[in-house]
Amino acid sequence: ACPRSFGINVAGLAGFPEKVLQIAKEQSHTFEMELQNHTHGTPIPKRSNNVTSSIDIVEDMDEEPDEVDNLYNKVSNLEMEAVKLNHEMEEALAQNDAQSV
């Protein structure tokens, strides 16, 4: 579960509301099921009516539109920032190992 939900886990660590995380998990599961069905030659099921849409999330939030945009931008950048930090850490470790030799 961890590799598929890395972005969701990071969002949880960043303090995103539980409702947003739950909806993201549902959307991720739906996407994974559609992808799995598509790759096995079966038709992709239509979206279930019980899955909350992104529009519903925004409508339910008590925040101003600018705050919603800022939140969206943060989520969009979280995974890339984590990848960059991981790369920097690996480079630092490699340099440390090279100096130790």
Quote the pLDDT of residue 1: 38
Quote the pLDDT of residue 32: 79
What is the C-alpha to C-alpha distance for residues 43 and 41, in angstroms, rounded to an integer?
7
- CA distance readout (Å), 67 to 62, 63, 72, 73, 74: 10, 6, 9, 10, 10
Quote the pLDDT of residue 73: 77
Q: DSSP class of residue 101?
A: -
Q: Helix, strand, or coil here: 63?
A: coil
What single-letter amino acid sits at 48?
A: S
Quote the pLDDT of residue 100: 79
Low-confidence residues in the chain, pLDDT < 70: 1-5, 37-65
Nearest to 17 by CA among 76, 63, 78: 63
For the whole model, what pTM was predicted? 0.36
